Amino acid sequence: MILTQIDTLLIGGPKPFRADGTMSAMAREAVDRPVMLRRLGFEGDQVADPSVHGGVDKAVHFYPAEHYPKWVAQFAAEGFSHPLLERAGAFGENISTSGLTEDKIRIGDRFRIGKALVEVAQGRQPCWKIDHHFGLHGLTAAVIKTGRCGGYFRVIEEGEAGPGDKIEQVERAGHDWTVERTFRLLIGGGHRAEGAKPGLRELAAMAALAESWRARAVQLAG
């Protein structure tokens, strides 16, 4: 069972993002106090486009701190660095922590975070806003290729959580669908492989998987 902590807690709201008036809440700010975690997310945290962000299955976005050195090394190998990677929050996450990598956590795993109880609902499906946020074409594709997607919690029990609070796994899902495996099948192109349909049907029937990803599994299964 996993035991870690909230290294950084980040809260934010929609801000001007592009000259055409597009807004985004990716540029969240770190807070140094406990915040009440409700069914739709941390108090004071908002999303810019509720049609694709937020909701009960995307209440809390977490991103593994382990990925930051990997991105720094990848950028360095390509001959440049990026200031966004100097601190947590570069990928719009609410929680930055170590130990919750996509290969270790399963859809439906439950964790006590501070006084709240949460459940892994899905991985984070990246969109064009990551490229624009970094000013770097191709980063979204790199997230998909590497599987460094992070994920989302749904909130089972509301409660306060703050920087330094424990993140303790209290229940392990009874299957082997990690966030990594699920992401690669539904988002990373794995559905095109021969023999993918049984896995897609299994995900389509998984109650703990986010509703939108279950629908995607149904669509891809044909």
What is the CATH classification number for the domain harbouring 35?
A: 2.40.33.20
Please count the structural domains in the chain: 1
Q: Which residue blocks in 10-127 are alpha helix, DSSP H?
A: 67-77
Compute CA distances 55 → 136, 155, 156, 182, 212, whole Å. 28, 10, 13, 20, 11
pLDDT in tens, 172-222: 999 999 999 999 999 999 999 999 999 999 999 999 999 999 999 999 998
Rounded CA separation 6/31 (Å): 11
Average pLDDT value for residue range 49-65: 90
Mind listing the pLDDT tens digit for each residue in 145-179?
A: 999 999 999 999 999 999 999 999 999 999 999 99
Q: What pLDDT is stored for residue 49 in this prediction?
A: 73
Report the predicted TM-score, pTM, of the whole model to 2 decimal places. 0.96
* Residue 219 is assigned to a structural domain of this protein: no
Residue 58, domain member (yes or no) = yes
pLDDT band at 16 (very low <50, low <70, confident <90, very high): confident
**Identity (one letter) of the amino acid at 22?**
T
